[in-house]
Amino acid sequence: MRHPTARKLAAAGSVVAAIAGLVGTAANLERLPVYLCRVPVIHGLCGWLTIGNVAGKDEEKAWREAQAATDTRALRAYLISYPTGTYVGEATTRLAACRTTRREVWTPEKRTLPLYLSASAGTGATREAAQAAARQRGAKDAADLCAGFTGEFKLRGTSTEIGDWLCRERKDGASCGFEGTAICDVEVRRLISEETCR
């Protein structure tokens, strides 16, 4: 016959073994949906119920868009929408692998400067001849004014826009000038940063 203490210890050991068995079974049951949801027939149902580490329909769609995109916006949108989602690990890894590149772009623009030619700038036998001489002088002055843009910009061309004519009649003909605008056709350099992901 066994000692009463030995019986108590054996009973306690049996209880501990039973509890350990139940805990182990419960832990395996927790993982059961993960294993079951790998079965193709059940996979769709698991996604609909969002169990078994299977993404739901909306999350799956957001993830496909994030995978197809070549920039970071879609990946960031996925992580914001599904911070504990199925693909968080892969999204974070892809985001870390993204690279920022800078490229130079030249954009055409028009810059304007005020242009003033005094009434004596262009002379001629007639008013029309004096205006033609003033236009020619204005084109040269506009080119000189626009030359200041060549340091920072690419100067592609210049032109003048005449506002008001300033003409005077003289004994030997006429003299003209004008108030207007020098138009500078330039290209502006810009650096564009782009994040690209694979």
Same domain as 46, residue 15? yes
Question: What total of structural domains would you count in the chain?
Answer: 2
Does residue 178 contact residue 129 with C-beta atoms inside 8 Å?
no
Q: Which residue has the higher pLDDT, 36 or 157?
A: 157
Same domain as 126, residue 140? yes
Does residue 88 contact residue 53 with C-beta atoms inside 8 Å?
no
Same domain as 97, residue 16? yes
CA distance 39 to 54: 11
- The half-sphere exposure of 48 on its side-chain side, counting CA atoms within 13 A, is 5
pLDDT of residue 29: 41
Same domain as 53, residue 117? no
Widest CA span of the chain, in angstroms? Answer: 149
CA distance 75 to 34: 25
Q: Phi-psi region for residue 107, left (φ > 0), alpha (ψ -120 to 50) or beta? A: beta
Same domain as 94, residue 117? no
Residue 91 has pLDDT above 90, yes or no: no
Residue 72 belongs to a domain: yes
Residue 101 pairs with which residues in a beta bridge? Answer: 194
Same domain as 114, residue 177? yes
- The half-sphere exposure of 106 on its side-chain side, counting CA atoms within 13 A, is 8
103: DSSP letter: E
pLDDT of residue 39: 59
- Torsions phi, psi of 193, nearest 5? -95, 130
What angle is formed at CA 41 by the lines to CA 36 and CA 42, rounded to 5 degrees? Answer: 40
Residue 195 has pLDDT above 90, yes or no: no
Same domain as 90, residue 127? no
Domain termination site, one of 80, 101, 122: 101
Residue 44 belongs to a domain: yes
Same domain as 52, residue 34? yes
Same domain as 117, residue 73? no
Residue 52 has pLDDT above 90, yes or no: no
Residue 183, domain extent: 105-195
Residue 4 belongs to a domain: no
* C-alpha torsion angle, residues 98, 104, 109, 112 (rounded to 10): 120
Residue 142 has pLDDT above 50, yes or no: yes
- Torsions phi, psi of 83, nearest 5? -65, -20
Three-state DSSP at 132 gives: helix
pLDDT of residue 186: 95
Same domain as 124, residue 86? no
Residue 164 belongs to a domain: yes
Regarding pTM above 0.75, the answer is no
Same domain as 87, residue 117? no
Does residue 187 contact residue 109 with C-beta atoms inside 8 Å?
yes
Residue 189 has pLDDT above 50, yes or no: yes
Q: Which residue has the higher pLDDT, 97 or 4?
A: 97
Residue 5 belongs to a domain: no
Same domain as 120, residue 180? yes
